[in-house]
Amino acid sequence: MQTRRQFVGSSCAAALVAARGLSWAQAAVDFSLKIEPCVLELGPKKTVKTVAYNGVAPGPLLRVKQGRAFSVDVENRSANAEIVHWHGLLGSPVMDGAMEEGSPMIPAGASLRYALMAEPAGLRWYHTHTFAGTDMNRGQYTGQHGLLYVEPAEDAGRYDREFFLTLQDWRGQMMGGGDGSMNPEYEVSTINGKMLGAGEPLRVKEHERVLLHVVNVVLFFELARRLFGDRAAQPQAVASPTHPLVAPFVAAALFAVHPMMTEAVGYISARSEVLCATFFLLAVLSARRWMLGGPAAWWWLTAGLWVAALLSKEIAVMLPFVLFGYDRWILGGTPVERQRRRQKLLVPFAAIAIAAGLVRGAVFIFLEHPGEQLLNWPRAYGQLTVLVRYVALLVLPRGQAVFHDVVSPKSLFDAPALLGLLAIILLIGLAGRLRRSFGVASLGAVWFLLLLVPSSLLVAMNQGDGMSEHRVYLASCGLFMAAGAGVAWLIAHLSGSGRALTWLAGAAVGLELLSLAGATVLRNAVWADPVALWREASDQAPESWIPRTALGEALHEAGRHQEAIATYKIAVRLRPDEPFGYLKLGMCLAELRRFDEATQTFQELQLRVPGSTMVPIGRGVVAMMAGKADIARVHFRDAIRMDPRDVMARQWQAMLEEVIANNPAEALRLCTEVQKIAPATLGNDACIARNRARIAGTNGG
């Protein structure tokens, strides 16, 4: 309740705003916002009357450097008093834009200048803080939201393009739940103010690094909130004295700050995991809306989002089975409703997923790898041990690295494989046993297992590394939902023992989240330094040649050649029959003009691996770097004679012909051969285009 002093103070502030426009500073303003009624076109024949900033939703992107003071003039052209909250910025309560903190409202027709400080760095947002209650045309139900990006003063990251995406639901109405609660349901969802298919595509060039400001955490929170709400609305659900947002908040907070998420978010080759998660979470939200009785548009939207998720990452094939779990353990409903969901969505989607899997498997077996063994059973058993390691890292994130060495058990009855199998049985058993009381936790456990199946199967088929932390990005949402349910249950259990224990439990959860956030900051610092990243991996897998070779490359790129040479030699000693380590060592030595040592390196490879094409290729590279083009050409041709389909030898000779010998015709011939052998070879299309242009220019002249 507002005190008399607070009431008088806020009333005086409002009067001052109305009378003087609150022009506190005479300096030039940095940004201007107008809160005004508008009609937004969300898609074909889909418009909505709302209130937004500058007539668009989301509002204009505000961008400012970290540590800089800036100002924003806000003019309220709407019919109601409004306020703008600067979410995530540090500043005084008066400027924060929250009435409960003492910030003044902006009466209709008045203006206000906000004086702000750009701290801390990162993606922030601004939005109305007006209380809407059940009025679906006010507050956060309108288009009053926009993004504020505080550019880091240092270490802003490396990327070629960036995209800012915001998600919004429109045309909401309050729907009653089985427990008497009222929750909003929406007719239309948009990304950057446009329905799926109605907006501009995100245009990038091949191989560009992209910074996608997609707040998957917010999506996951919204999904978790609705799943827990759906479960609470079921007749058999146990009433909980805790706030309904405790479980989804804990789940989303873990997803936001857990250091196991850093590889997917920070590693450029793992960004498909993040994009897939966006489409996957949206698909679950859309499917839920249709399963609750929504119109057919939600079914089609679900199908489209599922296709988008599949195009991002193969793990999305598990969507129908996640929805089966939602239908079975959370949703409930009459027999007629269940039959509708299964006949029109669940069974058809599952059949499509199974058929697609069978077709992809047939292509893999009969076209891509004919005559090869389908499954590597030791690697398959190794995935059972990897599951335990993933869970351990999520529970206690110690020993993270960009590379994990996986020892493959020879038999299913080896202790590590048995432990992994028992862990799977335990998770499935707990999910089944707790499904009536903790439906969301049961769904979360199955979600976690299902989303790891596709990548584990690929590893068992000799595709990819045995263990990569980015693979748990979307799968971890399942365990985080289970953790959220567990925390909510604990707080509810302690609430009967007094408020002190409840507050103590809440403080413990807060401290754990802060600890995880601190660990994430440290992980990001490691990811920012390739040498530190691969040194950490080498220390944790001292008997593996892969992280040693990668560490050598990082040192080499940093100009630390002597350290790189020493590291490459360790990699060669760890795996003396692997030609790649010799090539990297020989090239590094040649760059320092230690040609005799470089040549000796490839002589050692000849003794270790007779018949390896890497021997003549390496000798050719050394000769080319020594300025002996004719000798280098002979070595590259020797490699091609040894293996007529060798791509690397052709690439090196094409470089020699184009750059040193000034022979674009020969370079074009070699690159054309590479295109026939391996069409997806990186940089080869550019080689062809470049040399064709040179030939055409010569002929034209």
User: Mean pLDDT of all residues in the chain?
Assistant: 85
Query: How many Å apart are CA 84 and CA 142, to the nearest integer?
Result: 13
133 pLDDT band, cuts 50/70/90, is low
Would 3 be classed as within a structural domain?
A: yes
Q: Answer with the residue of higher pLDDT: 348 or 197.
A: 348
**In b/e form, how buried is each residue of 286-302, taking b as 16+ CB within 10 angstroms?**
bbbbbbbebeeebbebb
Summarize pLDDT for 613-644 with one digit per residue, the tens.
Answer: 999 999 999 999 898 999 999 999 999 999 99
The pLDDT, as a whole number, for residue 233 is 65
Would 571 be classed as within a structural domain?
A: no
Lowest mean pLDDT among 208-217, 274-283, 309-318: 208-217
CA–CA–CA angle 285, 291, 295 (5° rounding): 90
- The two tokens of residue 219 are 């999506």
Lowest mean pLDDT among 14-18, 224-228, 332-336: 14-18
Q: Answer with the residue of higher pLDDT: 279 or 502.
A: 279
Q: CB-based contacts of 50: which residues, under 8 Å, 6+ apart?
A: 37, 38, 39, 40, 57, 137, 142, 143, 170
Mean pLDDT of 203-207: 57
> What pairing do the DSSP bridges indicate for beta strands 122-128 and 145-151?
antiparallel
The pLDDT, as a whole number, for residue 235 is 57
Would 525 be classed as within a structural domain?
A: no
Mean pLDDT of 312-340: 91
What stretches of 292-365 show up as alpha helix (H) in DSSP?
Answer: 296-312, 319-326, 335-341, 347-362
Global pTM value? 0.68
- Enter the DSSP assignment of 260: G
Query: How many Å apart are CA 430 and CA 441, to the nearest integer?
Result: 9
Lowest mean pLDDT among 2-16, 147-161, 201-215: 2-16
Would 81 be classed as within a structural domain?
A: yes
Given a cut of 50, whether residue 94 has pLDDT beyond it is: yes
Given a cut of 50, whether residue 119 has pLDDT beyond it is: yes
Lowest mean pLDDT among 21-30, 31-40, 211-220, 365-374: 21-30
Summarize pLDDT for 262-305 with one digit per residue, the tens.
Answer: 888 876 666 788 889 999 999 999 999 999 988 999 999 999 99
Nearest to 483 by CA among 457, 512, 463: 512
Q: Answer with the residue of higher pLDDT: 683 or 17.
A: 683
Local structure of 393: helix, strand or coil? helix
Q: Read off the CATH number of the domain in which 133 is found.
A: 2.60.40.420
Local structure of 277: helix, strand or coil? helix
Cα separation values, 494 from 488, 500, 504, Å: 10, 9, 10
Would 85 be classed as within a structural domain?
A: yes
Summarize pLDDT for 49-79 with one digit per residue, the tens.
Answer: 999 999 999 999 999 998 888 889 999 999 8
Amino acid at 187: E
Mean pLDDT of 427-439: 83
The pLDDT, as a whole number, for residue 208 is 47
Q: Answer with the residue of higher pLDDT: 209 or 548.
A: 548
Mean pLDDT of 91-103: 75
Would 123 be classed as within a structural domain?
A: yes
497 pLDDT band, cuts 50/70/90, is confident
Angle, helices 472-495 vs 246-257, to 10°: value is 140
Query: How many Å apart are CA 655 and CA 691, to the nearest integer?
Result: 11
Would 78 be classed as within a structural domain?
A: yes
φ/ψ of 144, rounded to 5, equals -85, 80
Query: How many Å apart are CA 127 and CA 646, to the nearest integer?
Result: 58
Could you tell me the residue range of the domain that residue 33 belongs to?
1-161
238 pLDDT band, cuts 50/70/90, is low
Mean pLDDT of 232-259: 77
Query: How many Å apart are CA 318 and CA 329, to the nearest integer?
Result: 17
Nearest to 107 by CA among 14, 209, 227: 14
- Enter the DSSP assignment of 663: -
Would 120 be classed as within a structural domain?
A: yes
What percentage of the chain exceeds 90 in pLDDT?
49
Total number of domains constituting the chain: 1
Are the beta carbons of 220 and 274 closer than 8 angstroms? no
Mean pLDDT of 216-234: 84
The pLDDT, as a whole number, for residue 134 is 64
